[in-house]
Structure 1
Amino acid sequence: MRSTPPPPARRWDGSPLAHRVRRSLRVSPDGVSRLLRCGQGDRCRECGNRIEWYHRGAQRPVRLHPHELPAARVPSVCRWHVSSGVAYPGGDGSSWCRLPHAVVCPARDVPPPTPELTGLRRSLAVNTRRLIDAGAFTPCPASPGSPAPQRGNPAACRPARPVVQLLYVRYLAAHPVDEIQCIAQTRRRHRCTSTLLSPGTPAGTWKLVPATATSGQLALPAAVMAIYDLSAIPYAEQLRWRAQRCLRHSAIPTAADLAVADWEPFDPLAHHAHIHNRLPARTRRPGPTGRAHEAVDP
C-alpha cells in the first residue's frame, strides 16, 4: 500500500532496464478460501462504512480506512503504514499514509483533530444515513452514543456484546451469545448461517465475577460483571468456540474461513461500557415434561 514513484526506464549508462510487473494480492475466483491475511474487507458494525482489517505484529488486528490519505493532512499520532501485509503505527517516509477508522468513525463522539478529517467524517456520516434509510444497515445497539437501556426493560438484561470466558481468557463478543455466527464458507461460497450455540451442544453458564481481565489486571473498585463462562465445557468445544465454527464445519478442517473471528480481548478499562452488573433476564421455557420452567437466556 505504499505509494512509490515509477521505476526508471534506463540505467545510468542509457541501457534499457526491464522491470518485472508487480501483481497485486487478490483472491483467485477458482480458489476455496475467501479470507486474506491482510486487507480483509469488512464493514464497521457501528457506522456501516467500509474498513480493512490488518494484522499488527503479534497484537490483535487493527481497523484502517480503506483509502490512503496525504500524510500532510493527517497528524503524526494518527498515521499508519502497511509493509508486507502488516500495519505499523507511524509514517513510512512517503507522502501518503493510512488512517485508523476509529478517528473518523461517525458513530463516535470524539471529533477528528483536523478540519480535513472532519470533512471525511462528515461524508462517512452521510453514507451511514443513506445505508440506514435504504435498510442495508442497522446501527449496533451497544455503540457509543446510543441511549442507555432503562431499568425494567427485558432487553436491558440481554447484553448486545457479552463478555465470554473460554480457554482461561475473557473476550468481548461482537453479538449476543445465541447470535454468534460461524465464519466458515459453504459450498455455495457464502458464509455459514449456523450459530455456535445449537441444540445438543454443551452450553456455558452466566456468572457474576469481579470486573477484571484474566491477565492479572486489577479489578475495578467495587464492580462486578456478568460473563458467559465456557470453562466447564470440554476442551475441544472451547477450541470450536475460539475458532468460531459450528458443529458441522468444525468436523471439516478443509473448509475455508470467510471472515475474521469476532473475538476481541477484553479490557475492563477500555470496554467499561459493555460491563453489565446483572445476569440476563429469566424467561419461561417448556421443560422436557411439557411444564414450563425458568431458564437464563443465553
Structure 2
Amino acid sequence: MGEFDEELSLPERQPGESDDAYWRRVGELTDRAEALDAGADADGPPARPVCRECGLEADRFETWFGAWVLLERLDPVAEVPAHMVPPFFRWVIDRAGMACWTRDAEPSPGAMCRIPHRLVCPGIELPNPWSWLASVRSENARAAERLYNPPPPREPDEGLPDVG
C-alpha cells in the first residue's frame, strides 16, 4: 500500500453531485496538478505543441482526465529505458495514446518511458542534469538557435561555393 502526502486534500463535494461526477472532478484536478508538478503541462489544441520557453516543437499528449503534457521528441527513438530517467520525470503512453505520470514508481525490468520536454529544454536551467540529458539539452539549444537565427538566404546568382 502506498503512502499519502500530508498535503493531499480532496475538494469539497458539490450539493447533489454523484459519486461518478465527484471522482471525475478529483481526477481532472489531479491530472492538471501532476502535469504542473512534473514540468510537462502544455496548452491543448488548437494551440501548436511548442515549448513556452524555447519555442521548439514537442509531442503533446492528453492525460486520462483532459490535461495536456508536452513530451520530448527523441531521435531516432521516442521512448527511453525507464531506469535511465530520474524518478518523477517518467511518462508512459498507454495503448489509447493517453499519457500517464508514473511519479516515483520503480520501473519494471525493460520498461520504457517518455520524458517531459522541460527536462531537456535549453531555455530552463536545471541543477545537475544527468549526462545524457545534458547532451540532449545541448542539441536542443542548437535547434533553438537555428529556429531563431536561420542562415541568411543565398542570392540566386551566387551559385554553389567553390570547394576545391
TM-score, normalised via structure 1 length: 0.29
In the alignment, does 2:125 pair up with 1:109?
yes
Could you tell me how far 1:59 is from its partner in structure 2?
A: 4.7
In the alignment, does 2:60 pair up with 1:61?
no
Q: CA RMSD in A?
A: 2.8
Structure 1 equivalent of residue 136 of structure 2: 120
Matches within 5 A, 1:181-200: none
Matches within 5 A, 1:14-163: 42-66=49-73, 67-83=78-94, 84-90=96-102, 93=108, 94-111=110-127, 113-134=129-150
SS of the counterpart of 2:125? Answer: coil
Could you tell me how far 1:64 is from its partner in structure 2?
A: 0.8
Instruction: State the AA in 2 paired with 1:123.
Output: E
Structure 2 equivalent of residue 201 of structure 1: none
Which is higher, the Rg of structure 1 or of structure 2? 1
CA contact (8 A) 1:70 1:96 kept: yes
List structure 1 segments (4+ residues) > 4 angstroms apart after TM superposition.
none
Ranges in structure 1 where 5+ consecutive residues have no aligned partner: 1-36, 136-298
Residues 41 and 72 of structure 1: is their aligned pair in 2 closer, same or farther, counting only changes over 3 Å?
farther
Residues 64 and 104 of structure 1: is their aligned pair in 2 closer, same or farther, counting only changes over 3 Å?
same
Could you tell me how far 1:120 is from its partner in structure 2?
A: 0.7
**Structure having the larger proportion of residues in strand:** 1
Could you tell me how far 1:99 is from its partner in structure 2?
A: 0.3
**Structure having the larger proportion of residues in helix:** 2
CA contact (8 A) 1:41 1:52 kept: no
Residues 68 and 95 of structure 1: is their aligned pair in 2 closer, same or farther, counting only changes over 3 Å?
same
SS of the counterpart of 1:43? Answer: coil
| Residues 257-281 of structure 1: per-residue CA shift (max 9 Å, x gap) | xxxxxxxxxxxxxxxxxxxxxxxxx
**In structure 1, C-alpha distance between the alignment counterparts of 2:126 and 2:93, rounded to whole Å:** 25
| Residues 47-91 of structure 1: per-residue CA shift (max 9 Å, x gap) | 122211111122521111122222232112211100021111127
Q: How many residues align?
A: 98
Ranges in structure 2 where 5+ consecutive residues have no aligned partner: 1-43, 152-164
TM-score, normalised via structure 2 length: 0.51
